Amino acid sequence: SAIMLAAAIQLSSVPEQATNLRAAYDWLARARSAGASLIVLPELFPSYGDLELAAKQAEPIDGALISGLREWTARQGVWLVTGSFAEFDPATTAVYNTSLLIDPRGAIAARYRKRHLFNIDLNAATRCSEGDVFTPGDALTCVTTTAGTLGWGICFDLRFPEQFRALSRAGMEILLAPSAFTE
């Protein structure tokens, strides 16, 4: 069987999308030049730290953010997992924390919407409520590719093992779990 190099990009994303996109494209280029053919970005890489701002910047899948990543991926001929981004669904006006798999031709091969949203409210200084801005997804995602059979979770989903048991039963060989943890 063929050997594939995968790259997991780690960013310290900030609320400003332009800053994060510059860093992401720089690291994508570095990963590709190192020979990676499967590249994974982190959770909410375009805008992190202010969930309300991230939701306000939400884009549909055919928006500029994903279109740019699809073009880059097609030029490079790699598999790209978009980590996650705030997806605006024009049909329902809901905003999801969404991860996409883009194939080497630039086509969207899979979509996963985070199912388990992180909500904690201990005090004014320790509060994070993804449920205030995101709608939970309701489906598992498992897809067979030349890279193997990929299954998804995003960050807090990791706390719910039944999701991964179900993905394993569906044939998952590689778990994708883009994450961004709070301080």
pLDDT per residue as tens digits for the range 33-70: 999 999 999 999 999 888 889 999 999 999 999 999 99
Specify whether the CB–CB gap between 17 and 57 falls below 8 A. Answer: yes
- pLDDT (0 to 100) of residue 180: 87
User: How much is the average pLDDT of 102-111?
Assistant: 98
Sorted by sequence, the CB contacts under 8 Å of residue 80 that are 6+ apart come out as: 28, 38, 39, 40, 41, 69, 72, 73, 101, 102
Count helices and strands in the chain by DSSP H and E runs: 4, 11
pLDDT confidence tier of residue 129, bands split at 50, 70 and 90: confident
- pLDDT (0 to 100) of residue 157: 94
Residue with tokens 């569906």: 170
Residues designated catalytic: 43, 114, 155
Q: Which residue type is seen at 121?
A: D
pTM listed for this prediction: 0.93
Sorted by sequence, the CB contacts under 8 Å of residue 162 that are 6+ apart come out as: none
| Average pLDDT over the chain, rounded to an integer | 92
Between 112 and 129, the more confident residue is: 112
CB-neighbour burial class of residue 106 (10 A; exposed 0-12, middle 13-18, buried 19+)? middle
- pLDDT (0 to 100) of residue 147: 81
According to DSSP, the β-strands at 38-40 and 79-81 are parallel
% of the chain with per-residue pLDDT over 70? 94
